[in-house]
Amino acid sequence: MSDKPSFAPYLVVSNASAAIDFYKKAFGAVELVRHMVPNSDKVMHSHLVIQGSDVMLSDDCSSFMAMKSETPEALGGSPVTFHLHTDDADALWAKAVAAGATEKTPLMDQFWGDRYGQLRDPFGHYWSIGQTINKPTEAEIEEGAKKGFERAKEVLAR
């Protein structure tokens, strides 16, 4: 681990050991460190690297401090999505689904030039996977967005 300034998401999950195993299988995470809560099977702190980026996580230890759980499951979901950009979205998608992720939005070619979709991991966190397949102009992106939002309004109006 470097002493240089960095930015890393810190995830709270209901079963950190299982989450670490999932992230290894689904996204090729490398585990750098895992510290356990004394006299417990709970993870106090762990540090992973996924595609060269740091991710830290721990078990939900709110019960030790008489606090309310703040896992995505306890909160009914998460407003945050972690994005993984790759050279082979289909392969990474298949690997994540095989490891236990579920589809939130399908992996498909998008108007902004990416093959893109979103998954929910078994712990309630959302992940998007993207691969650049085309480089549309700004005008093409604007037109694609207009058409996409018009279709969405039509679908919702039904």
CATH of 10-157, one of 3.10.180.10, 3.40.630.30, 3.40.50.1980, 1.10.3720.10: 3.10.180.10
- What pLDDT is recorded for position 63? 78
Render pLDDT for 93-128 as a digit per residue (tens, 0 to 9).
Answer: 999 999 999 999 999 999 999 999 999 999 999 999
- The average pLDDT across 146-153 equals 90
Q: What is the pLDDT of residue 69?
A: 85
- Distance of alpha carbon 40 from alpha carbon 37, whole angstroms: 5
12-47 pLDDT per residue, tens: 999 999 999 999 999 999 999 999 999 999 999 999
Directed axis angle between helix 16-27 and helix 89-99, to 10°?
A: 150
pLDDT tens column, 42-74: 999 999 999 999 999 999 988 777 788 888 888
Q: Quick one: how many helices (H) and strands (E) in the chain?
A: 4, 8
The SS3 of residue 124 is coil
- For residue 2, the model assigns a pLDDT of 57
Model pTM score: 0.88
- Tokens (6 digits) for 37: 């809560």
Q: Any idea where the domains of the chain sit in the sequence?
A: 10-157
Q: Could you tell me if 47 and 56 are in contact, meaning their C-beta atoms sit under 8 angstroms apart?
A: yes
Q: How far is CA 95 from CA 27, 31, 101, in A?
A: 7, 18, 9
